[in-house]
Structure 1
Amino acid sequence: MANELQGRTVAILAADGVEQVELTRPREELRKAGARVELVSLSTDPIQSMNSDINPAEKFEVDRAVGDVSADDYDALVLPGGTVNPDNLRVDEKAVGFVRAFFAAGKPVGAICHGPWTLVEADVVRGRTLTSYPSIRTDLRNAGATVVDEQVCTDEGLVTSRNPDDLDAFCAKIIEEFAEGRHRVHPEGATA
């Protein structure tokens, strides 16, 4: 399993306010599985992570700005949470377009905690089944998703989890889905 993702490149899209463990843990597990992982953000300035949304944690160097990359550069995408992080991402047209392009290409995506908020803005949850942090479930339903309260939920290459307590299941499932590669393009939403 150490080379399950050998030759694959994964983007982690995050901005200031990202929940530190939701960035570091998937990155570590993806690297262990052999993937090359790049941190993509709104600019190349370092981003400030948080612990539980209230305590500043580490700053992370950004590999590439979202305006300088394309979904074509990557095999899969991870969207960590933290309340402020997806709120910053979903008001940036380039970030939203980047996310939408993964769905239009049928590439696998993992989103945890508040991460699915960006999926709502990208209009890619309609007709899908997901889980998330409880406070954004109404937003997901209003955007046309079916919401479940499960540790990890998979819907044709889209992997979602509720919070950092689900990271073991989330990391195992994104590695599995990312190894499978492209999936069928979902008929609703996901239009680039």
Structure 2
Amino acid sequence: MAKKIAVMIADGCEEIEALTPVDVLRRLGQDVDMVGLKDLAVTGAHQIKLTCDKVLDDSLLDYDMVVLPGGYQGAQNLRNSDQLMALMQKRNQAGKWNAAMCAAPMAFARYGLLNDSDYTCYPEMEKEFASDVTNGRHHEDIVVVDSSKHIITSRGPATALAYAYKIAEVLGVDPAPQKEAMLYNFLATNI
């Protein structure tokens, strides 16, 4: 049975980070919704127009995974949403998986999700939200999974494929066929 994944999309999002998980997880046969923070129509950080499947509502609690892309403005918009914060805190309390990359861990920091957690983010970004995190442990790995907190984090645009594949793995979906088909394995050994 396919897993349900929501990718939160806000104005100013980093398009690569928003669309890569959608693309990879749909290729892997998963049920992925692009969820607009406020509207179905969103403009990314590089003026790419995105059309979401739905707008944020309480159904966010029903997803197996919620994914937050970065992009500084987009991450700020996600961070500043009290509605999203309340839903993400409920998801966290229920032990559901959540993921954020690049600048988006700033939202997790505000929500309290990074407390006592291992995480990563865009270089130096952790300094911006350090005062919002209690006993968090920042790492410089490409992707960091904190299984005890049900959180996945990643660094930035170039790590979007590794992030998407890790999301699949955590959800019990084997990404190996797509890693091969999308030439990820070739890239990993030749870069």
What TM-score, normalized by structure 1, do the two folds share?
Answer: 0.82
**Residue correspondence of structure 1 range 96-107 to structure 2 within 5 A:** 96-107=85-96
Give the residue type in structure 1 aligned to 2:51: E
Identity %: 28
**Residue correspondence of structure 1 range 10-29 to structure 2 within 5 A:** 10-29=5-24
Task: Give the aligned partner of residue 107 of structure 2.
Answer: 118
- Aligned pair partner of 1:60 in 43, 50, 58: 50
Structure 1: 5+ residue stretches without partners: 1-5, 181-192
Q: Is the 8 A contact 2:40 2:54 kept in 1?
A: no
Task: Give the aligned partner of residue 45 of structure 1.
Answer: 40
The total of aligned residue pairs comes to 169
CA deviations on 1:132-173 (whole Å, 9 max, x unpaired) are: 012321245331211011111110131111111112321111
Rounded to whole Å, the distance in 1 between the matches of 2:25 and 2:94 is 21
Give the residue type in structure 1 aligned to 2:140: D
Post-superposition offset of 1:74: 0.9
Greater fraction helix: 2
Q: Is the 8 A contact 2:78 2:104 kept in 1?
A: no
Task: Give the aligned partner of residue 80 of structure 1.
Answer: 69
Structure 2: 5+ residue stretches without partners: 174-191
Give the residue type in structure 2 aligned to 1:72: L
Post-superposition offset of 1:175: 0.6
What TM-score, normalized by structure 2, do the two folds share?
Answer: 0.82
Q: Is the 8 A contact 1:14 1:39 kept in 2?
A: yes
Change (3 A) 1:139 1:146: farther
Rounded to whole Å, the distance in 2 between the matches of 1:97 and 1:41 is 16
Post-superposition offset of 1:17: 0.3
Two-structure CA RMSD over aligned residues (Å): 1.6
Task: Give the aligned partner of residue 177 of structure 1.
Answer: 170
